[in-house]
């Protein structure tokens, strides 16, 4: 339940329906990804350099810029128009998304060119409705007093800088529509590269329930860990002072030591004692699962959409299958969703046709998004084999 002012909203399924991007990094012409409404997992597959990570970066930019556009931090969220076309500099960079809350579906789009906002639109309709969207506001016509009943008067346009979003300003003013969109954005999470293990460690130390959930996760992944302990460690002041003032402000003064427990056996296989082992001495795969434990369990608990780039890093294919299965299982009662980029093609057969999104490039190095043809059965269990044979495209063309 989310409470703001006199409005109370209950959220159960915070689903990302679709996302579109144009003139951003490897994207030139608008490309749209529509996420599978039935599955809780969507996977992006394609060759190295095809633009899979750039799609998640575009989604992350969309979220971050909306949340910070009126602040100084917005200047750190720079975007890159498409590089390999002479016309790209004369075109705006545009982002669009459809996002579902419990009772409403919002469509929100904005475009930027040379650091200035060129367009911005917020629309809404009821969930499971065939009705067209009702416009909550459009930046281009807000000064015509069409949207005052929704809390978007011409005054809000005057008080918003040319390089900032009206939606962000409306959120600062506690506009109910903006608050709903921002609440939805709070449920959109991203992981790229190595995850900070301290988030999992901090929650393990604070909550017995969460510690038990992490242990269960590690044990189901067949990692032989019998217990966990976490202790706080003060980061030496000299180490913090070695950083610049800008970095120093972001460095936490507290870190965590994590210790796992394994059993020691005698020659007959009997347990003799428990033996502690620093997490730093565990395998990279074990550390990866521990790192992912907090974002995965938090997403399952709160119904988040969790986006992970290069999902399979340091993970065995069966461990990937296990983690994907957590989101597809009946125990995912909050409707949490997983969006991943991966080269683990075994996952294609696990998630099925409609959850596979193909990412490739055309002859002009523009990222193109696609899906497996509807002529392929939804229950086809040979998707991996057919993909690796090149039947669906979005595959490396290796030349010997």
Going from the N-terminus, what domains does the chain have, and what CATH number goes with each? 1-187+304-400 (3.40.50), 196-302 (no CATH)
CA dihedral sign, ordered 208, 214, 220, 224: negative
Strands (E), 146-226: 188-191
From first to last of its 400 residues, what are the pLDDT tens digits of the chain? 343 343 444 445 789 999 999 999 999 999 999 998 888 999 999 999 999 999 999 999 999 999 999 997 777 777 899 999 999 999 999 999 999 998 899 999 999 999 999 999 999 999 988 889 999 999 999 999 899 999 999 999 999 999 999 999 999 999 999 999 999 999 999 998 767 788 999 999 999 999 999 999 999 998 899 999 999 987 666 655 666 665 545 556 678 999 999 999 999 999 999 999 999 999 999 999 999 999 999 999 999 999 999 999 999 999 999 999 999 999 899 999 999 999 999 999 999 999 999 999 999 999 999 999 999 998 899 999 999 999 999 998 877 7
Strands (E), the chain: 2-4, 7-9, 15-22, 31-34, 41-45, 93-100, 104-113, 116-126, 134-138, 188-191, 227-234, 254-265, 271-278, 305-308, 337-341, 356-361, 367-371
pLDDT of residue 238: 66
Which CA distances in Å does 331 have to 297, 336, 351? 12, 10, 17
* Cβ contacts of 3 within 8 Å, gap of 6 or more: none
Helix 52-68 to helix 176-186 angle (10° resolution) is: 140
CA dihedral sign, ordered 373, 379, 380, 381: positive
Q: What is the CA 17 to chain-centroid distance, rounded?
A: 13
Question: Which of 6, 62, 9, 14 shows the shortest CA–CA distance to 174?
Answer: 6
| Burial class of residue 255 in the structure, from the number of CB atoms within 10 Å of its CB (0-12 exposed, 13-18 middle, 19+ buried) | middle
pLDDT of residue 304: 95
pLDDT of residue 249: 58
pLDDT of residue 4: 37
pLDDT of residue 243: 61
pTM of the prediction?
A: 0.90
């Amino acid at each position: 339940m989310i409470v703001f002012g006199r409005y109370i909203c209950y959220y159960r399924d915070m689903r990302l329906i679709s996302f579109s991007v144009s003139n951003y990094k490897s994207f030139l012409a608008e490309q749209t990804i529509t996420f599978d409404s039935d599955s809780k997992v969507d996977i992006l597959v394609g060759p190295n350099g095809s633009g899979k990570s750039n799609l998640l970066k575009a989604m992350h930019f969309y979220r971050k810029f909306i949340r910070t556009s009126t602040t100084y931090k917005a200047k750190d969220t720079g975007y890159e128009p498409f590089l390999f076309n002479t016309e790209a500099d004369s075109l705006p960079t545009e982002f669009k998304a459809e996002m579902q809350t419990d009772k409403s579906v919002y469509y929100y789009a904005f475009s930027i060119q040379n650091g200035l906002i060129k367009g911005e639109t917020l629309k809404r309709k009821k969930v499971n409705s065939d009705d067209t969207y009702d416009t909550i506001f459009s930046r281009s016509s807000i000064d015509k007093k069409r949207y005052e009943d929704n809390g978007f008067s011409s005054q809000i346009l005057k008080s918003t800088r040319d390089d900032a979003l009206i939606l962000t300003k409306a959120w600062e003013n506690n506009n109910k529509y903006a608050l709903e969109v921002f609440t939805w954005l709070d449920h959109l999470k991203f992981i790229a590269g190595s995850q900070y293990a301290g988030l999992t460690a901090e929650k393990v130390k604070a909550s017995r329930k969460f510690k038990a959930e992490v242990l269960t996760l590690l044990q189901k992944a067949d990692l032989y860990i019998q217990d966990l302990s976490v202790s706080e460690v003060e980061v030496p002041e000299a180490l913090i002072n070695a950083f610049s003032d800008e970095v120093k402000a972001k460095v936490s003064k507290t870190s965590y030591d994590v210790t796992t427990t394994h059993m020691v056996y005698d020659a007959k296989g009997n347990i003799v004692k428990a033996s502690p082992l620093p997490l730093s001495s565990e395998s990279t795969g074990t550390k990866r699962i521990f790192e992912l434990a907090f974002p995965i369990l938090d997403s399952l608990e709160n119904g988040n959409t969790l986006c992970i780039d290069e999902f399979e890093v340091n993970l065995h294919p069966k461990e990937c299958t296990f983690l994907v299965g957590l989101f597809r299982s009946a125990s995912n009662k909050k409707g949490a969703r997983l969006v991943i980029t991966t080269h683990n093609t075994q996952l294609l057969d696990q998630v099925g046709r409609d959850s596979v999104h193909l990412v490739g490039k055309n002859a002009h190095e523009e990222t193109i998004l696609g899906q497996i043809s509807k002529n392929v059965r939804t229950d086809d269990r040979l998707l991996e084999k057919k993909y690796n044979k090149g039947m669906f495209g979005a595959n490396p063309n290796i030349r010997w």
